[in-house]
Amino acid sequence: MTPIERLTAMADLFERKQNEVAAQEKAIKKDKEALLRMAREDLPEMMREVGLADLTTTGGVKIELAEGLDIAIPENKVSEAHAWMIENGHGGLIKTLVTVEFERGAAEEVTTLAARLTTEGHHATTKTTVHPATLKSWGAELLAAGKYPPEDLFKIFPYTFAKLGKRRP
């Protein structure tokens, strides 16, 4: 086999593998969507129909219903939501990110303060944010305490989901 034939064969193999991986990733995405639907819709609905909050199957799998929460701040409401959080004693959850653009090879300068970077001519931008996991945890704590953040500033999606315990022998 000539070098060009070997190269062509390798390129063909590369393309096939790339397509296989893409197909597997697509299948995994569909499987994850199916699992989420089962956990948040199918199993809770079936368990409510039979009036159970938990069950151990004849095969030894424990299923129980739990409460979950998704919460988000719409992009156009970030400033107002952060202001509300500060006014209501939750400002410590807000973090400020500083993004700085450097020329190649300027890694040592990265550790300097944003103000100093500005005076040196670097373009620095800041962004305040609350990490999604922190926001979710905070939202759950707030709701558990019977407190509700303003609906126009926070999108809250409570849900019930089924969680599986370890199979019992």
Closest CA relative to residue 161, chosen from 71, 65, 70, 69: 65
- The amino acid sitting at 15 is E
CA distance 82 to 153: 9
- Cα-only R_g, the chain: 25
Q: Yes or no: say if 156 and 69 are a contact pair by the CB < 8 Å rule.
A: yes
3-state DSSP assignment of residue 61: coil
CA distance 65 to 51: 11
- Partnered with residue 70 across adjacent β-strands are 157
H helix and E strand count, the chain = 5, 5
- The lowest-confidence range among 18-22, 32-36, 107-111, 127-131 is 107-111
Q: Which value, to the nearest 10 degrees, does the dihedral of the CA atoms of residues 130, 41, 62, 66 take?
A: 40
The pLDDT, as a whole number, for residue 100 is 62
Closest CA relative to residue 63, chosen from 48, 84, 80, 83: 48
- The amino acid sitting at 141 is E
Mean pLDDT of 67-75: 93
Give the predicted TM-score (pTM) of the model: 0.65
- The lowest-confidence range among 1-15, 36-50, 100-114 is 100-114
Q: Yes or no: say if 52 and 164 are a contact pair by the CB < 8 Å rule.
A: no
Mean pLDDT, the chain, integer: 89
